[in-house]
């Protein structure tokens, strides 16, 4: 079923009001027809099953469900070259990341991002949410200094480092509890030893993806996918992550 993301203000009584871009997407791009069912998602809150109306401006709500996200994963990703951050946003959203923090680290080649590019990343996040049927549109935060990471909140904090234990083995052994996760991934060339030490002093756990070396644009996404799958499995088996 086709899914679109809507604002809470678009839900009016038993109807969902469509914006012009949403009308274009549904009727011109996806070729929906009157009477067809589509889903309208209010990010992180509710999922509405709706029927397409002939006027092409409204959807009639048929059913509503509360949405639940097992964990909220923040990826603090060091900026990398060739605008590969857009790929990280797209694939990371599909993997279940709920917030992205672009970070300037010691080895970052790119050290600034234009407002237009950041706005484009936010659009990519919304489109990836709709395509992958995730239930929350990730927030793209402003570019942040690496030195701000130690004080950022989170129940469980991890930094990707090749000398750390395998992340899956660590999850199965330690069974960490908490709904707010912080994951830090480095740029091309990785994080410096001093950066990793700074995070470890702030209670970050160094974890790895095993014996393999992944490109900077892939490592954080792979780790987030493992965390999402683990959290979903644990929630279904024990009913509680906290």
* Domains observed in the chain: 3-66 (2.40.240.20), 72-238 (3.40.1280.10)
Q: What per-residue confidence (pLDDT) applies to 242?
A: 47
If you search the block for the tokens 């660590």, which residue do you land on? 170
* Segment 49-76 mean pLDDT: 92
Q: How far apart are CA 155 and CA 141, in angstroms?
A: 19
**189 contacts: CB under 8 Å, gap ≥ 6:** 107
pTM assigned to the model: 0.89
Q: What per-residue confidence (pLDDT) applies to 115?
A: 92
Q: What per-residue confidence (pLDDT) applies to 236?
A: 55
* Segment 118-129 mean pLDDT: 96
Q: What per-residue confidence (pLDDT) applies to 239?
A: 52
Residues 27-42: b if buried by 16+ CB within 10 A, e if exposed: eeeeebeeeeebbbbb
């Amino acid at each position: 079923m086709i899914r679109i993301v809507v604002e809470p203000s678009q839900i009016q009584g038993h109807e969902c009001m469509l914006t012009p871009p949403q009308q274009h997407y549904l009727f011109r791009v996806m070729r929906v027809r009157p009477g067809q069912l589509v889903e309208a998602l209010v990010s992180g809150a509710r999922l509405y099953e709706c029927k397409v109306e002939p006027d092409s401006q409204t959807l009639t709500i048929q059913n509503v469900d509360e949405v639940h996200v097992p964990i909220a994963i923040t990826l603090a990703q060091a900026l990398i070259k060739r605008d590969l951050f857009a790929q990280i946003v797209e694939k990371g959203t599909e993997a279940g990341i709920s917030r992205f923090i672009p970070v300037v680290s010691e080895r970052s080649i790119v050290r600034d991002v234009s407002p237009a590019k950041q706005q484009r990343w936010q659009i990519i996040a919304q489109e990836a949410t709709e395509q992958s049927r995730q239930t929350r549109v990730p927030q793209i935060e402003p570019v942040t200094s690496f030195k701000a990471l130690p004080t950022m909140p989170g129940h469980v904090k991890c930094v990707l480092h090749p000398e750390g234990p395998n992340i899956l083995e660590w999850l199965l052994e330690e069974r960490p509890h908490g709904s707010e996760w912080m994951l830090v991934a480095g740029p091309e060339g990785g994080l410096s030893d001093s950066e990793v030490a700074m995070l470890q002093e702030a209670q970050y756990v160094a974890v790895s993806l095993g014996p393999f070396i992944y490109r900077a644009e892939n490592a954080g996404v792979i780790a987030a996918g493992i965390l999402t799958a683990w959290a979903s499995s644990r929630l279904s088996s024990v009913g509680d992550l906290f």
